[in-house]
Amino acid sequence: MSRLRRRDFLKTTVALLWASVGGCPQIEPGEKETPKPSRWHGFKYAMCNESMREKSWGEQCQIVANAGYTGIEIAAFTLVKEGVQEITPAHRKEMEATMKDAGIECAGLHWLLAPPPKGLHFTTGDEPTRKKSIKYLEELIDFCGDVGGTVMIFGSPKQRSTVGTSIDEAKKYFADGLAKVADHAKSRGVKILVEPLDTGQTDVVNRMAEALEIVKRVKHPAIELMFDFHNTGNETEAFDVLIKRFHKHIFHIHVQEMDGKHLGGGSGVNDYVKAFQVLKDLQYDKWISLEVFDFSPGGKRIAEESMKVLNQIESKLI
């Protein structure tokens, strides 16, 4: 055996022995090595902007940044009179620049079909209304992409409830409408996330399992789930169990006290620890966004007091 062949034989033998005892896997020609998971850098916190809607965009961004959040989540209806098409390309660039100057970024959009504009409904049996709603969702996708957002939370309870249709028909329309915009969303780097809402808000998609049914029906990478602590009224499992069960499909989280107020006035600081521990164990690296429904304390106080609670929750984790 020649020296060159002997060397090749030894190299091959050593490589096979190394692989057999758990060493580096052999990479076939042309095959790329699977990258190792990156180090987890902690939770990313954002805040929804409705509680600050009376303030300028710059002031909203500064309140969020000063309180320690790194993202802002936008309800587009707070910025327009008739529709998101009013926000020109130049204005969108200005919005993104303002966020960057404040040291934050856009987490995404929510309250997608809340008026203005009026007359939208995604699951009605009236086809012209559905088409109008789908068209507006397309415009929101472009707005989200233009300002750097990556997720769109489809809650909008009044715009997806049954209106002269059965629940099954409404779910079909829901899935069909999402399927129509899915490719466009993907092209803009945006995911549309189905939000389960309790029966006090809507009769269409009230639990995580139902939301997953919609996702599986559409079967598109741009359509996934989100988790909202406040909207688990119809669930029978604990927060941490739900997150473990659905985490592969959860691409966004909303947090607040269970009564919809900002963190600090209830028991969330203790009740959410197990769920946050699961998220930490899973190295969840997507947004956790503060969404509240009582704006009376004002945006600044809501932001600051809620961030203190989020820090307290983190201090209890191992």
HEC string of 263-293?
CCCCCHHHHCHHHHHHHHHCCCCCEEEECCC
Residue 311 lies in a domain: yes
Average pLDDT value over all residues in the chain: 91
Look at residue 57 in the predicted model and tell me its pLDDT.
98
Residue 221 lies in a domain: yes
Are 128 and 175 in contact by the 8 Å Cβ rule? The answer is no
What domain count does the chain have? 1
Report the predicted TM-score, pTM, of the whole model to 2 decimal places.
0.88
Residue 27 lies in a domain: no
The alpha carbon of 282 is separated from its chain's Cα centroid by a whole number of angstroms, namely 16
Average pLDDT over residues 55-78: 98
Look at residue 39 in the predicted model and tell me its pLDDT.
85
Sole residue written with tokens 């090749």: 8
Average pLDDT over residues 38-57: 95
- pLDDT, tens digit, 9 for 90 and up, residues 276-309: 999 999 999 999 999 999 999 999 999 999 999 9
Look at residue 38 in the predicted model and tell me its pLDDT.
66
CATH number at residue 108: 3.20.20.150
Residue 164 lies in a domain: yes
Domain that holds residue 162: 39-315
Residue 10 lies in a domain: no
Average pLDDT over residues 67-83: 98
- pLDDT, tens digit, 9 for 90 and up, residues 178-236: 999 999 999 999 999 999 999 999 999 999 999 999 999 999 999 999 999 999 999 99
Closest CA to 298 of 46, 52, 54, 47: 52
Residue 282 lies in a domain: yes
Look at residue 221 in the predicted model and tell me its pLDDT.
98
Rounded to whole angstroms, the Cα distance separating 11 from 153 reads 54
Residue 232 lies in a domain: yes
Residue 33 lies in a domain: no
